[in-house]
């Protein structure tokens, strides 16, 4: 397999449902069916069980082949303490959104199992897990494998747990937290085209907040068009 593209939408939550669905429509108009990374209770609020319209929308997407991932239980780090080494690892990558950054295996497994149970009760069957901000210890990936999930990933790799294989797959993402970050992330997206256009597979990770700044919104559309001009979209299962 060569010249493939995996697209995902992160932060699927009732709190951000309108932007999630806007991103989906943007992808669908280009013939792309992105993976959907679902957070059961965003920041300890917005329980997905209380959003029947979003649940119905997710079930419909899944019925037509969209892959569902668990994306943390609440996404943020509320109630969790960082060590200085954790702060260094997260530097510049997240504003206290690394829920699994500090967790050892028992705590990671507990949150993963709770999140999976909630989604499965709603008729959703996640195939994998992605830690918020891609920040997690190896303990988390052991917990993912123990939960029977097939996939996890970080910023550099996709883990195929049933094959005990780790694939190097570059990822393109944006940050719209400030005007400066928006401009830099758009520049980095262009740079990754030059650096990785010959990679066998590349990921594009979309976040609802990407639509909140015109620079990132324009960049993500241009980036999708650029990569899709020479690649075909695939699902994680095709790996």
Reported as a single tens digit per residue, the pLDDT across 155-210 is: 999 999 999 999 999 999 999 989 999 999 999 999 999 999 999 999 999 999 99
Q: At what angle do helices 105-121 and 138-146 cross, to 10 degrees?
A: 40
**Mean pLDDT along residues 73-82:** 83
Residue-level pLDDT at 87: 66
Residues paired with residue 21 on neighbouring β-strands, in sequence order: none
Query: Which pLDDT does position 90 carry in this prediction?
Result: 63
Give the 3-state secondary structure of residue 61.
helix
Q: Pick the residue with more confidence: 81 or 190?
A: 190
Report the SS3 class of residue 117: helix
Q: Residue 201: its pLDDT value, please?
A: 97
135 CB-near residues (< 8 Å, 6+ apart):
89, 90, 93, 94, 98, 100, 101, 154
> Given pLDDT bands bounded at 50, 70 and 90, which one contains residue 84?
low
| Secondary structure (3-state) at 158 | strand
pTM: predicted TM-score of the whole model, two decimal places: 0.95
Q: What is the pLDDT of residue 98?
A: 78
User: Is the model more confident about 45 or about 83?
Assistant: 45
Query: Considering only the top CATH level, what class is 4-238?
Result: alpha beta
């Amino acid at each position: 397999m060569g010249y493939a593209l995996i697209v995902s939408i992160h932060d699927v939550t009732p709190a951000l449902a309108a932007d999630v669905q806007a991103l989906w429509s943007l992808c669908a108009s280009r013939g792309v069916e992105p993976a959907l990374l679902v957070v059961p209770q965003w920041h300890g609020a917005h329980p997905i069980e209380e959003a029947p319209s979003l649940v119905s929308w997710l079930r419909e997407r899944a019925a037509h082949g969209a892959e569902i991932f668990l994306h943390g239980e609440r996404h943020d780090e509320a109630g969790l303490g960082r060590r200085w080494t954790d702060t260094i690892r997260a530097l510049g990558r997240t504003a206290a959104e690394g829920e699994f950054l500090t967790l050892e295996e028992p705590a990671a497994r507990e949150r993963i199992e709770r999140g999976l149970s909630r989604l499965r009760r709603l008729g959703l069957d996640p195939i994998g897990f992605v830690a918020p901000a891609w920040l997690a210890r190896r303990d988390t990936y052991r917990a993912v494998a123990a939960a029977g999930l097939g996939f996890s990933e970080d910023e550099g790799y996709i883990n195929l747990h049933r094959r005990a294989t780790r694939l190097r797959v570059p990822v393109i993402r944006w940050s719209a937290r400030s005007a400066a970050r928006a401009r830099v992330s758009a520049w980095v997206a262009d740079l990754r085209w030059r650096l990785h256009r010959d990679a066998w597979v590349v990921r594009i990770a979309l976040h609802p907040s990407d639509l909140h700044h015109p620079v990132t919104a324009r960049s993500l559309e241009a980036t999708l068009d650029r990569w899709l001009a020479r690649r075909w979209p695939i699902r994680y299962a095709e790996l």
